Amino acid sequence: MRYVSTRGQAPVLGFEEAMFAGLARDGGLYVPEAVPRLAPDAIAALAGLPYEEVALRVMRPFIGDAFAEDELRAAVAAAHAGFGHPARAPLKQLAPNRFLLELFHGPTLAFKDFAMQVIGQLFQRALARRGARITIVGATSGDTGSAAIEAFRGLEGVDVFILFPDGRVSEVQRRQMTTPAEANVHAIALQGDFDACQARVKDLFNDHAFRDAVGLAAVNSINWARVLVQAVYYFAAAVALGAPHRSVAFAVPTGNFGDVYAGAVARAMGLPVARLVVATNHNDILHRCLTTGRYAPEAVRPSISPSMDIQLASNFERALFDALGRDGSAVAGLMGRLAAGGFEVPAPALAALRAAYASGRASEAETAATIAATLAATGELLCPHSAVAAKVAAEVQGPEPMVVLATAHPAKFPEAVEAATGLRPALPARLADLHDRPERVTVLPDDLAALQSLIRERIAR
């Protein structure tokens, strides 16, 4: 399987190289040259299988010979071993013909665990084969960093440095990053905001001598392997609800467009997906773009669903590439206009996007009201991100089953849930002692040289 860049100017790579590269050298994102299809009988045969077996069958055609069968099987098994539910992604019913797909049973209680755990296992195996070491660096506003730390803690050949804005992540998120005791985990509280964290990570990558000396690598949401892993739960859920004999719709709480694009990949593989619904909070650039055709970032406004507080949805570039007939130079042209404030999606591409994705938004008040109404009607507590999707799903419900993706456990966002319902959600038992575990964190000034010397020192151990 070969991977090409959405901007058409970067080298064509195999699966393993695309996984390590992350961003393509022309600034684009890697996508498969052609999406492999699963025949209806192969999809029907997924019914009733363990989640890990579904994962193997869905991912296998994209990976080709980059990983041997037993290697991939062991990686997928290890990746899901730390989940707190045997179904991995269980379905619950919310209303007639409406379901909740619980994606928060992983070690950090958010859906990002699915992709990050598999990537950690694949990285470790590929590095062992190459006899190489890498240094993973990432900036986080909360969920991605904890998922990365949890995935790479204790693995051979990898150090993981995560920068978060000092004092600006929730206590649960901070403790998930600062309590792992493994020597290869390095949590850094940067004295700056999230933008400063992201800027310093960019600086590290732009210092090519440093990048090569420490073997810098990233696992951000544009990594193709992350998107691929997320396609698995669309298959698992749809098959449980009657696919391929019945088509299913999904409502997805969306920030960077990675999760909903994984649904588009599942559909391109042959899964009958009736509708993919992009649900945004008041940072609604994607809903505005699908409605008006203009993609124009505004200032980010904080919300009670902070993991969706994004104005530049990096994975949207993959959807644009599809909508523009896979024309890399057309994508590069539109992206080049972002710095000047935005662009108009050409009419035929806008029609293609609207055929592929429905959309809606939830205000802060609507999100809180949905958390309260869902609790009253079903007894389920939703996290604010999941509530955004539940609100939009109810608006667009059609004749086919609608699956709402629940992307985080409510106990990750206890303040917002308590404000909406008066109930403070408890952490699951396996995390109940999180507040008693010792923390280990390095506070650093917002200074590149200080960051570089810390990384050099730590990886020399």
Q: Which positions touch ligand PLP (CB under 6 A)?
A: 110, 112, 143, 221, 253-259, 307-308, 385, 407-408
Nearer to ligand PLP, 178 or 221 (CB): 221
Q: Considering the complex, what minimum distance in angstroms separates the CB of residue 43 from ligand PLP?
A: 24
Q: Considering the complex, what minimum distance in angstroms separates the CB of residue 347 from ligand PLP?
A: 26
Q: Considering the complex, what minimum distance in angstroms separates the CB of residue 390 from ligand PLP?
A: 12
Nearer to ligand PLP, 141 or 184 (CB): 141
Q: Considering the complex, what minimum distance in angstroms separates the CB of residue 259 from ligand PLP?
A: 4
Amino acid at 410: P
Q: Considering the complex, what minimum distance in angstroms separates the CB of residue 288 from ligand PLP?
A: 16
Nearest to 308 by CA among 451, 413, 457: 413
Nearer to ligand PLP, 46 or 94 (CB): 94
Nearer to ligand PLP, 204 or 383 (CB): 383
Nearer to ligand PLP, 125 or 409 (CB): 409
Nearer to ligand PLP, 214 or 320 (CB): 320
Instruction: Catalytic residue, from 112, 202, 391, 412: name it.
Output: 112
112 catalytic residue (yes or no): yes
Q: Considering the complex, what minimum distance in angstroms separates the CB of residue 354 from ligand PLP?
A: 19
Structure tokens belonging to residue 11: 């080298």
Catalytic residues: 112
